[in-house]
Structure 1
Amino acid sequence: MKRSIILLFTFCWSWVLAQNNQQTKFVQYVKPLIGTGAVDTNSLSGSNFPGPTMPFGFIQLSPDTRDAPDDPASGYDYNDKTIVGFSHTHLSGTGVADLFDVLLMPSAGEIKLNPGNAKVNRSGYRSSFSHDQETARPGYYQVLLKDYGINAELTATGHTGMHRYTFPASKQSHIVLDMDHSLDKKRGYWECRVIGAEIKVINNHTLEGYRIITGWASLRKVYFHAEFSKPFDSVLMANGNSKPHAVNVINGTAVKAAINFSTTDQEQVLVKVAVSPVSIENARMNMASEVAGWDFEQVSRQCADSWEKELGKIKVEGTLEQKQIFYTGLYHAFTQPNNMADVNGDYQATDMTIRNAPDKVQYSTFSLWDTYRAAHPLYTLTQPEKSAAFINTMVRQYDTYGYLPIWQLWGEENYCMIGNHAIPVITDAVLKGIPGIDAGKAYEAVKASSMTDHPGSPFTAWEKYGYIPEDIESQSVSITLEMAYDDWCVAQLAKKLGKTEDYDYFIKRSAFYQNLYNPKTGFFQGRNKDGKWLSPFDPLSYGGNGGSPYTEANAWQYTWYVPQNVPDLIKLMGGDKNFTAKLDSFFTLANKPGNVNGNASGFIGQYAHGNEPSHHIAYLYDYSGQPWKTQYYVSKVLNELYDTSSSGYAGNEDCGQMSAWYIFSAMGFYPVNPANGVYAIGSPILKSAAIRLPNGKTFKVNVENAGTLNRYIQSVKLNGRTYNKTYITQNDIMNGSTLEFIMGAKPNKTWGTQAAARPAGWGYINN
């Protein structure tokens, strides 16, 4: 009897431990369907995809709900009712679509590869689905294709997608392979067309092929190798509107294939698809290296385990919703940049040659106008090895292309957005001492990229006028302000390396923003090369990506963009009183013109959290002696503009930037200047956070009285000592400090208000 009681106790205790271990898994908080579709279809939602991918992996295997994806750019809209298939490459959170390579779709019954003008079933094989019969988690996606009674399951490795389709009994079961599926070829910002493609039958369980396609990336080569767990009975192929017929190979510009089977009830057919940007041989190699067998569960588990490791780099406590937003944010932030190198290190360089990366990594998908602000500073804390690899990739682009990336996709420069924000990313990493970077070579690339004319950065005019004239280059105010910041970064790196002449040169250029400040209007304002201000001037008037002095914003939003020298900006505006009064107006002026840019959303007054130019502005009260207002607005954004629904973001998630803002801000601090080693303090909403640092130490944040109503800081301690500064430094974090907050419902207007408490606004902080 005693032995039985002991065994029973041991069993129960083991069960409790197992449950506790399961409960501590970070992946359980990730909800990939966050940010996949707006409740209000006229607003932005995130533009994220729900399918499986490895951290920073090449493959993003996910359902597409549109025949010709365009908006949302991820290819999946939560509001859609049908799925057209599962393609292997996607963009996460971008405002523009591309990729959607190698689409597979299972079906049963009669199939039409070329349905012509059919209105109800345009693809010929799409199916309805329900979110009640859909599952998405790290390493796994599942959906029931209702029209066919087929259960589709997906998982992924770094370069290979794995499908598991459970069919009904049918003599007409199919898996469609569509090499024509792409972003919308008839409309968009640029021409998209398939230049050439091929599908080839290798044997009765293997297909291979490629396509060469234009789009946002000007020329992409995509090679695939696909293996089926069940030998297929036949393959029908078609190009364009040609009649499908049984052949072993087909070439063309709109090629598709129907792989045909007979299936018994609940029979599972698995497919493995490896993709390479280099060659079919490399695609084969990628599969052989990553998925030798057919164990779907093992592949899914390995993918989830990889995510568990990455997500565990920050441990937080808070409400369930807060943890779901936080860890889904980390998931989205760690989805890209993507490793474009094959398993042997081969990659296609920007000069279209095939090169080899000795470290087997070559990253792409650099949405730098967005991610330099907070996502890359987050990577330096949580992903230092990958940060070094990102920068080595950027320097390789400089070697083959002449300057650093602006917006790099599929290894190619697409010139999207303005400035050259690889510069602050490299500067930040070098100044923080990230190992694995050749600082001399990095500086060579940074300096050259700051003196070479290219789209979005016209340096000849910059040198001549001391600003960018609008009649020489549109988006002139935004370009001027952002180039001035980039120049400040070059100056800091020059100073670090003892290049005094260069420091003096670039620090002078970093003040060129002053030449566009109009003291009569109180805004940064466009002017022509003759020096005259543009008129009429309306600070509420929005620009897009040309035709206005402002990029995806208005004068109200860009007037706060001097992160390299906020004290000087305060001085330009007439001192603390005028500065804070203008900030107050910014956050309360609700008037919006009818032509608000499509990227502007998540409004609090003129603050538009849905796009990046606004992201640092709530923290600027810290610099002018009224930090309780920073706490108010940061808390408001955290609690009102993020949630766990399909419309959980206030705008496009933008490759991790929208998430990184939440991750930093929820812990209580944010890098206003992402390259000076200073983090302005806001309003933490989590009960605690612990960042596991690469040096083996842990930076901790503990919050007393955390809660939606307690948005105001009452007091702060750093390492047990009273702390009145409204910022912490990189060294505070890397030393493994403990930051303690006591929060309350009313502002403490004495904490952090002294001039000495304000964030340093000039130079790099080393203590």
Structure 2
Amino acid sequence: MKKLLSIGFVCLCPIVFAQKKPSPGNLVQYVNPFIGTGAVDKNSLSGSNFPGSTVPFGFVQLSPDTREAPDDPASGYDYNDKTIIGFSHTHLSGTGVADLFDVLMMPTTGAINLAPGSADKPGSGYSSAFSHKEETARPGYYQVMLKDYNINAELTSTSHVGLHRYTFPKSDESHVIIDMDHSLDKKRGYWSCKIVSAQIRVIDDHTVEGYRVLSGWAKLRKIYFHAEFSKPFTSSVLASGSRRYPDLSIINGTNLKAALNFSTKDKEQVLVKVGLSPVSTENARMNIKAELPGWDFDNTSTQSSLQWEHELAKIKIEGTLEQKQIFYTGMYHAFTQPNNLADVNGDYQATDLTIANAPDKTHYSTFSLWDTYRAAHPLYTLIQPEKTAGFINSMMRQYDTYGYLPIWQLWGDENYCMIGNHAIPVIVDAALKDIKGFNQEKAYEAVKGSSITDHPGSPFTTWEKYQYIPEDIESQSVSVTLEMAYDDWCVAQLAKKLDKTEDYDRFMKRSEYYRNLYNTKTGFFQAKKKDGNWQEPFDALAYGGNGGSPYTEGNAWQYFWYVPQNVSGLIDLVGGNTAFNQKLDLFFSTKDKPGEVNGNASGFIGQYAHGNEPSHHVAYLYDYAGQPWKTQMYVAKVLNELYNNSSSGYSGNEDCGQMSSWYIFSAMGFYPVNPANGVYAIGSPILKNAQINLGDGTVFTVDVKNAGKQNAYIQSVKLNGKSYTKTYITQNDITGGGKLEFVMGSKPNKNWGVKPTDAPLAWGY
């Protein structure tokens, strides 16, 4: 999902980032957490990532915030800012909308100042100036020198616990500020952020705990914390709004802060471990006891790094240093979420606000499904099958309590962001791939139930009555029609697998409703009204955002290609391969007119906008129509020009792993155009070698001869030693292990992959 941001993309110089000297074979050395943390000029986008510490799929993301009221970028950290407000324990990675930023802490010296300060007013409040020259980030570790206080701040984390290490100067006025009012911008009425209730309680001279209940992008969130200090504080000040209460033991309110006061020697280290829970302070204490009973900061950081090393080793690559940095940082971002909300005992807050318990001690949330179903979840099925089962079981728990599967779930709460019902393709894809660990019959009940029950954004009664969504009934009607048709195709495939013939026929019929919005006169999918007439006037270049237009974060050009369930049918609508390829050529060459593009798109090649998801599969469509060398050309262009290893390393918001997953797949040479049919279109590999470790010793290897920016075109391919001329491979090709070999060159081989018998007219199971 995209925020309204500036348009365009520029390639930039790489960030030089510090870390300890890596050992041989150490993959974490290539992860640069600063990639995607800040645009360099007004015409570029950053990615909206954070640089702080987290573990794979962990609950805590302990990271600096550079804004008093984070909004843009949504991660709370902008590489261009010069001031740090503090370190909060929860963040979103790569989203277009901000939220979380829970339990902010900030070490200071001097007179107590409980105002947060402002990013554009250095020296105000308790904030501090900082320099990138004195800042470090790597998996499991973040460090920065707070210049205003001469305090070195270091952060690491476990799944549910954040660990801080502050090195103070000599001072009789050293403090750690706790800000329970810090949140996304409360002045943005659209999200209605509000602290409903909060508490800070001083337990003893080493311990503080509390909670807050607030609304925001997630409608209602509860966050509990338990904090333990390695050094006793000598006094404390609690505050509610502008009123201060020295040495009070407990305070309740809506704008709460605390200052814990110390006397420190020169270079004295004070450590703080903060356990979080969405359930209770008791569970927050329990999480600390289970995950971080001691105070060994360096070992905790090392263990976090080792967790990342284990995950990154699931794909080993050979390529240039920049390619390795982009690739492994992409894996890092893809595995930052979904997040396990369950406490160590399995407790979590369900969507009906009751406390439930997950027997497997995992309950995942942060499902940015409109983005991640396209490539991130297919990637998980390859190298995170156990996690995939956990994701699906968590989604089905929402179905049990909420009545339908997640659309965009945050902190266990449905926020209805974006359109479609894209938990459906995620679940169906995993079922068709026989991922173990979830009940397929129950899964079918959930996907079918979510496809026939009217709920926000999914008017199924209207859908079946009109066989399209009328724009005068539901805004974003063209995009909703196309995406619902795809989801219905997915339901049909699982019905077929489970021998539910009547349901298969019903949902296959619905999957073809996209045809009812194709206007043969304009050559586009166009909005209709409920009386059956086309909505006029029509402009294929006109952009829509998230309402008030037939198109969602795109235009008619970008949504024309969204029939991944039946590309051959789309080709027939246009008039065959030649006409289809000509339309693709226009798509990649038609320039925007001034004022016809808004900030929901970026990274342009003609009308192709790589910075937003509706375009992500389009470069691969030449594979379906007999001109695969054009797929190779455009995929190579995106890989080489629209990703880099700078703070502005993505051509749009990273979107919880989707932008990274596109790169991971495409750099290896293939991509899931239809995310739920187990087929991968072949593009243009840029890595010399990639080894996908599938478990049980099974490895799928991609080997590329003549890899390089000048050699975008496939000359020949072998699969398991035999000549291969198909423009796709399947899930079974990969999971069975084997070797895919490419020979690349600087000029197209127009004889490869174009034989009619090899044209993928009916890819899939």
- Which TM-score band applies after superposition, normalised by the shorter structure? over 0.9
Q: Is the Cα–Cα contact under 8 Å of residues 115 and 122 in structure 1 kept in the other structure?
A: no
Query: Are positions 1:162 and 2:163 aligned together?
Result: yes
| Residue in 1 that maps onto 2:9 | none
CA contact (8 A) 1:362 1:393 kept: yes
2:148 is paired with a residue whose SS is coil
CA contact (8 A) 2:85 2:118 kept: no
Deviation by residue 1:516-555 (Cα, 9 ceiling, x = unmatched): 0001001000010001111110000000000000000000
1:296 maps onto 2:314 in alignment: no
Aligned length: 746
Match of 1:635 in 2: 636
- Structure 2 contact 541–596 (Cα < 8 Å) conserved: no
Supply the distance in 2 between the matched residues of 1:21 and 1:418 (Cα, whole angstroms): 44
Aligned amino acid, residue 702 of structure 1: D
Q: How far apart, in 2, do the equivalents of 1:692 and 1:543 lie? A: 41
Structure scoring higher RCO (CA < 8 A, sep ≥ 6) equals: 2
Q: Distance in 2 between matches of 1:618 and 1:228?
A: 54
What's the CA shift for 1:118? Answer: 12
Paired with 1:304 and 1:123, the residues of 2 have a C-alpha distance of 35
User: CA, structure 1 residues 621+279, in 2 after alignment: closer, same or farther (shift >3 Å)?
Assistant: same
Question: What residue is the counterpart of 1:445 in the other structure?
Answer: 446
Aligned to 1:36: 37
Distance 1:728 1:299 in 2: 41
**Map 1:23-62 → 2, pairs under 5 A:** 23-62=24-63
| Change over 3 Å in CA distance of 1:652–1:419 after alignment to 2 | same
Amino acid at match of 1:689: A
- Taking the aligned partners of 2:402 and 2:630, their CA distance within structure 1 comes to 45
Closer, same or farther: CA 351–118 of 1 in aligned 2, 3 Å: closer
Instruction: Show the counterpart of 2:692.
Output: 691
Matched, 1:732 2:741: no
Question: Partners of 2:499 and 2:708 in 1: how far apart?
Answer: 47
Other structure's SS at 1:450 match = helix
Q: CA deviation at 1:244?
A: 4.7
What is the aligned partner in structure 2 of residue 337 from structure 1?
A: 338
Letter in 2 for 1:35: G
Amino acid of the structure 2 residue aligned with 1:698: V
Q: CA deviation at 1:511?
A: 0.2
The answer to which of 749-758 and 173-182 deviates more is 749-758
Letter in 2 for 1:607: Y
How far apart in 1 are the matches of 2:555 and 2:333? 28
Distance 2:309 2:38 in 1: 26
Contact 1:680 1:759 in 2 (8 A): no
CA offsets 1:563-594 (integer angstroms, 9 cap, x no match): 00000000000111110001000001112441
> Compared with structure 1, are the counterparts of its residues 109 and 20 closer, same or farther at alpha carbon in structure 2 (3 Å cutoff)?
closer
Q: Secondary structure at the match of 1:580?
A: helix
Cα distance in 2 between the residues matched to 1:244 and 1:52: 33
Could you say if the C-alpha distance between residues 179 and 77 of structure 1 is closer, same or farther in structure 2, counting changes exceeding 3 Å? same
1:278-330 per-residue CA deviation (whole Å, 9 max, x = no partner) reads 00000000000000010000100000000000000000000000000000000
Question: Residue in 2 aligned with 1:310?
Answer: 311
The superposition leaves residues 227-248 of structure 1 with CA deviations (integer Å, 9 ceiling, x where unpaired) of: 0000001110111122353311
- 1:547 corresponds in structure 2 to 548
Q: Is the 8 A contact 2:717 2:723 kept in 1?
A: yes
Provide closer, same or farther for how the CA distance between residues 79 and 118 of structure 1 changes in structure 2, counting only shifts above 3 A.
closer
What is the aligned partner in structure 2 of residue 670 from structure 1? 671
Letter in 1 for 2:171: S
User: Residue 68 of structure 2 contacts residue 116 of structure 2 at CA under 8 Å; is this kept in 1?
Assistant: no
Structure 2: how far apart are the matches of 1:131 and 1:20? 19
**Partner residue in 2 for 1:361:** 362
Task: Report which stretch shifted further, 591-600 or 718-727.
Answer: 591-600
**Structure 2: which 5+ residue stretches go unaligned?**
1-19
4+ long deviations beyond 4 Å: 115-119
Cα deviation code 1:438-477 (max 9, x no counterpart): 0000000000000011112111110000000000000000
Which residue is 1:152 aligned to?
153
C-alpha deviation, 1:759, in angstroms:
2.8
Q: Quick one: which amino acid aligns to residue 140 of structure 2?
A: G
Separation in 1, partners of 2:656, 2:309: 20
Query: Cα–Cα, structure 1 residues 231 and 446, in superposed 2: closer, same or farther, change >3 Å?
Result: same
The 1:143/1:565 distance shift into structure 2, 3 A limit, reads same
The question of 1:585 aligning with 2:580 is answered: no
Q: Distance in 2 between matches of 1:21 and 1:135?
A: 15
- CA drift of 1:189 comes to 2.6
In structure 2, the residue matched to 1:89 is 90
Q: Residues 472 and 576 from structure 1, CA distance in 2 versus in 1: closer, same or farther, beyond 3 angstroms?
A: same
Residue 603 (structure 1) aligns with: 604
The aligned runs of 1:154-553 (5 Å cut-off) are: 154-187=155-188, 189-553=190-554
**Offset at residue 121 of structure 1 (A):** 5.5
Question: In structure 2, what residue type is equivalent to 1:617?
Answer: V
- 8 Å contact kept, 1:669–1:727: yes
Residue 42 of structure 1 deviates from its aligned partner by: 4.4
Whether the aligned pair in 1 keeps the contact of 2:702 and 2:740 (CA below 8 Å) is yes
Q: CA deviation at 1:188?
A: 5.3
Paired residue secondary structure (1:739): strand
Structure 1 residue runs without a partner (length 5+) = 1-18
The DSSP-based 3-state class of the residue aligned with 1:753 is coil
8 Å contact from structure 1 (residues 84, 123) kept in 2? no
- 2: CA distance, partners of 1:278 / 1:104: 21
Contact 1:111 1:124 in 2 (8 A): no
Tell me which residue corresponds to 2:574.
Answer: 573
| Aligned residues of 2:82 and 2:119 also touching (Cα < 8 A) | no
Say which SS state the counterpart of residue 244 (structure 2) adopts. Answer: coil
Task: Tell me by how many angstroms 1:597 deviates.
Answer: 2.9
Aligned residues with identical type, % of pairs = 74
1:557 paired with 2:558, answer yes
CA contact (8 A) 2:117 2:126 kept: no
**Is residue 678–residue 760 contact of structure 1 (8 Å, CA) maintained in 2?**
no
Residue 85 of structure 2 contacts residue 119 of structure 2 at CA under 8 Å; is this kept in 1?
no
Aligned CA distance change for structure 1 residues 576 and 115 (closer, same or farther; 3 Å): closer
Partner SS, residue 201 of structure 2: strand
Deviation at 1:687, TM superposition (A): 0.1
Q: Distance in 1 between matches of 2:21 and 2:85?
A: 40
Deviation at 1:23, TM superposition (A): 2.4
Q: Does the CA-based 8 Å contact 2:686-2:708 persist in structure 1?
A: yes
Q: Is the 1:108–1:173 Cα contact (8 Å) retained in structure 2?
A: yes
After superposition, the Cα gap between the structure-2 partners of 1:572 and 1:339, relative to the gap in structure 1 and judged at 3 Å, is same
Question: Shift of the alpha carbon at 1:114?
Answer: 3.7
Change (3 A) 1:20 1:81: closer
Q: Which amino acid aligns with 1:84?
A: I
Aligned CA RMSD, in angstroms, stands at: 1.4
Q: Structure 1 pair 123/446, CA: closer, same or farther in 2 (3 Å)?
A: farther
Q: Which residue of 2 aligns with 1:722?
A: 723
TM-fit CA distance, 1:110: 1.4
Distance 1:394 1:274 in 2: 25
Q: Name the CA shift for 1:609/1:119 in 2 (closer, same or farther; >3 Å).
A: closer
Aligned counterparts of 2:391 and 2:626: Cα–Cα separation in 1: 37
In the alignment, the residues of structure 2 paired with residue 222 and residue 20 of structure 1 have an alpha-carbon distance, to the nearest angstrom, of 37
One-letter identity of the residue aligned with 2:61: Q
Q: Which amino acid aligns with 1:270?
A: L
Relative to structure 2, which stretch is displaced further, 112-121 or 33-42? 112-121
What is the deviation of 1:261? Answer: 0.3
Give the match for residue 17 of structure 2.
none
CA shift, 1:205, in A, is 0.4
Distance in 1 between the 2:148 and 2:56 partners?
33
- SS, match of residue 473 in structure 2: coil
Checking the alignment, whether the CA contact within 8 Å between 1:406 and 1:422 is kept in structure 2 is: yes
Q: Deviations over 1:371-429 (max 9, x none)?
A: 00000000000000000000000111100000000000000100000010000000000
Deviations 1:64-114 (A, max 9, x none): 000000000000000000000000000000000000000000011112214
The residue number in structure 2 matching 1:14 is none
